[in-house]
Structure 1
């Protein structure tokens, strides 16, 4: 099982770094392996802490983003992740999947109708939207990074900077959420460690590929990934 977890973590991080939503690959796989849902979510949070921090560090070192640009995100991402994890036992999974379906549909429609073009170029981040995405990340997670990518690209950031800021926010929200899952006893280290090790390698591979992706290709990739996710979530909800 450890080999399967390692390979799944690698694929999840590779896809998730480039276009987000690797969680909708990893979550079903962990559930198929018989891992309880809360342990699966905790495992995903731990692997995201490792993979997102490593990919962000690479982009920061490569000067694709500055730490100053990311610092305002810390409190809303941490608090959002903690709040989401706290609510995880209060909301039934079908409601969570319904939320994911709605937000992914909205993101896809915006991408198809308006394209991934800068909506504005000011420096004021949409804090309310970013906070809600962090709450969703702590609560469940799959689709979170795709929503962040859409938000930052439409806010005027370049593709690489969007990847960097998304990785940073994912790290912070997952760190907040993981502390709650750890405190609740949902962490299984025999599951979390091989999954996270695969995610670390997948993130490093994808972040090196990201520099070769144009804004047009990024938009196409996001739309394709989102469409696949909508099909997957929709089938689970309505069949």
Structure 2
């Protein structure tokens, strides 16, 4: 019964995570409520996200909706950003990390109502100094803390007027890169409960593939509404965590 629940939360979390980010809001709290040690829960989440994110963007790449040049740029920036974030995290308190997350997500939410954060029809993403810096910052944030990093990346692509399905693919590449370093670290330090992780991974891959199918069917207005809802839920959860850390 426990493994069935892990399978289900992996599926649901990655459907939402693929569409608009924030899937960790479902997987992490559920595992911790079931008594999974925090390091094992985070490790399982990182490993499963790494695998499911790879399956997501590969599905899009296989249909030639992404090209290697744009994938390579996002992969490199996200990997470096995530690594730097992991190093910075050791110098910051949990309260500072949580407050940073609240401010970043709050800013993204406000900007979405001010216009400009609408997915467009651009079929090619070109990294420049502005969006590259933002994505590097998202990578640092993910390495330091994590919740909402995929959501922040999607806002960035929306401001660039990238087509939604391409934005999903690029955000999943970022998740893959950002989670890889953390996943390797958790594996190397022996903090992975493999039976739990493999079940969650299976659910995550299934959820990611369902998410890709749904991403091709949803309309721009529906995506924008769902993105805002998930952002608000993330902010509320983080504010709650911040108050309890005081």
TM-score (norm 1): 0.91
Shift of 1:46: 0.6
Shift of 1:115: 4.9
Matched with 2:160 is 155
The yes-or-no answer on 1:47 pairing with 2:48 is: yes
CA RMSD after TM alignment: 2.0
Does the CA-based 8 Å contact 1:42-1:186 persist in structure 2?
yes
| Contiguous gaps of at least 5 residues in structure 1 | none
Matched with 1:14 is 15
Shift of 1:85: 3.4
Is the alpha carbon distance of 1:85 and 1:194 closer, same or farther for their aligned partners in structure 2, counting shifts above 3 Å?
Answer: farther
Matched with 1:207 is 212
Matched with 1:237 is 242
Shift of 1:63: 2.3
Q: Deviations over 1:103-160 (max 9, x none)?
A: 11111111112252369x7823422221121122233321111000001111121111
Query: How far apart, CA to CA, are the structure 2 residues paired with 1:183 and 1:87?
Result: 20
Does the CA-based 8 Å contact 2:56-2:172 persist in structure 1?
yes
Shift of 1:228: 1.6
Matched with 1:135 is 140
Does the CA-based 8 Å contact 1:21-1:142 persist in structure 2?
yes
Query: How far apart, CA to CA, are the structure 1 residues paired with 2:94 and 2:20?
Result: 24
Shift of 1:167: 0.6
TM-score (norm 2): 0.88
Is the alpha carbon distance of 1:17 and 1:118 closer, same or farther for their aligned partners in structure 2, counting shifts above 3 Å?
Answer: closer
Shift of 1:36: 2.5
Number of aligned residue pairs: give it: 238
Shift of 1:89: 4.9
Q: Which moves more between the two structures, 174-183 or 19-28?
A: 174-183
The yes-or-no answer on 1:110 pairing with 2:111 is: yes
Aligned-partner SS, 2:114: helix
Aligned-partner SS, 2:15: helix
Is the alpha carbon distance of 1:83 and 1:188 closer, same or farther for their aligned partners in structure 2, counting shifts above 3 Å?
Answer: farther
Matched with 2:233 is 228
The yes-or-no answer on 1:72 pairing with 2:73 is: yes
Does the CA-based 8 Å contact 2:70-2:126 persist in structure 1?
no
Shift of 1:30: 1.7
Matched with 1:185 is 190
| Contiguous gaps of at least 5 residues in structure 2 | none
Is the alpha carbon distance of 1:173 and 1:101 closer, same or farther for their aligned partners in structure 2, counting shifts above 3 Å?
Answer: same
Query: How far apart, CA to CA, are the structure 1 residues paired with 2:100 and 2:42?
Result: 16
Does the CA-based 8 Å contact 1:82-1:180 persist in structure 2?
no
Query: How far apart, CA to CA, are the structure 1 residues paired with 2:87 and 2:10?
Result: 25
